Amino acid sequence: MSIFVILGLLVCVKAQGSSAVTPVFVQKGEDVMLNLTEADDLENSAVIWNFNNKSSNEVSILVRWFLRTEPKVSPDYTGRIEFTVKKYCVKLKNLQETDSGVYTGQVFGGVDVQTRAEYSVTVQDPVSPVKLTVDSVSSSSDSCNLTVTCSTQDSHISSIFTCDTKTCSQEGGERSEVTTSGASLRVYLVHDSITCNHSNQVSWTKDVTKIQDFCSQHDGSECVSAGISVCRLKTVVFSIGLIIMVSVVISVHVYVKLKKQK
């Protein structure tokens, strides 16, 4: 028995050390391509793709080739595996949560076994929709405060936004939280809109609210992006124009009156 244990250990040690695990995220129901590189020198070897289930920790074989034979697909995977033009690369279709785990492509040549590819696959559901609600608005003549809550089915996050006539800022900066399902929920400011973003590695959903719709003092005009100077300049130009116009009107009026008197 001990010789088998030693052999087993040798195989494991060799198999583990020979390649890095690549993390891959797949949306539930979609496919994954399992690639073997250096496929050219595999003609005289046996190739096996196996799967180590994340939750049960059981290892099963997906497909195997022995020395230039047709591939043999395991009964559990019949109809779920497609072969690509590139030999020994397989496409596993319609992934479900139970397919999360490590996929290993092993090559047996002579006496040793080499792990050529190792993918740690995580199957995720797309994230649920989010809703951004404005809880309260308090405003004065020159400032406006907004409290919002961004919520999903299983979590929510609140944040306060403060605006003056020119700019808005988020109290404490971007807020974020990891939901119970492992997705991330974030609230942040993009230009003059509050964005709520619910995302995981395979999908995201958002809800956006324009600050102007709640804060009238904050007009969100070009003054915001261009800074104070443009607004000031406009006011100054407008005022000077008005003064000149009024002066001209008065002068003409006086001139006409004087002429009449003569």
Ligand X SMILES: *[C@@H]1O[C@H](CO)[C@@H](O)[C@H](O)[C@H]1NC(C)=O
Instruction: Report angle CA 145, 146, 148 to the nearest 5 degrees.
Output: 155
Q: Which is nearer to ligand X, 2 or 140 (CB)?
A: 140
Q: How far is the CB of 259 from ligand X (least distance, A)?
A: 57
How far apart CA 160 and CA 148 sit, in angstroms, is 6
Q: How far is the CB of 242 from ligand X (least distance, A)?
A: 32
Q: How far is the CB of 121 from ligand X (least distance, A)?
A: 8
How far apart CA 209 and CA 211 sit, in angstroms, is 6
How far apart CA 24 and CA 35 sit, in angstroms, is 12
Q: Which is nearer to ligand X, 40 or 257 (CB)?
A: 40
Kindly write down the DSSP assignment for every residue of 63-112, as one continuous string: EEE-TT---EE-GGGTTTEEE-SSTT-EEE-S--GGG-EEEEEEEEETTE
Residue type, 129: P
Q: How far is the CB of 140 from ligand X (least distance, A)?
A: 4
Q: Which is nearer to ligand X, 11 or 39 (CB)?
A: 39
Q: Which is nearer to ligand X, 65 or 118 (CB)?
A: 118
Q: How far is the CB of 229 from ligand X (least distance, A)?
A: 25
Q: Which is nearer to ligand X, 87 or 206 (CB)?
A: 206
Select from 216, 15, 222, 197 the least CA-distant residue to 116: 15
Looking at residue 39, the DSSP 8-state letter turns out to be: G
Q: How far is the CB of 203 from ligand X (least distance, A)?
A: 9
Q: Which is nearer to ligand X, 56 or 138 (CB)?
A: 138
How far apart CA 202 and CA 189 sit, in angstroms, is 23
- Rule CB under 6 A: which residues touch ligand X? 24, 32-33, 35, 119, 138-140, 143, 145, 162, 195, 197, 199, 204, 206
How far apart CA 200 and CA 185 sit, in angstroms, is 9
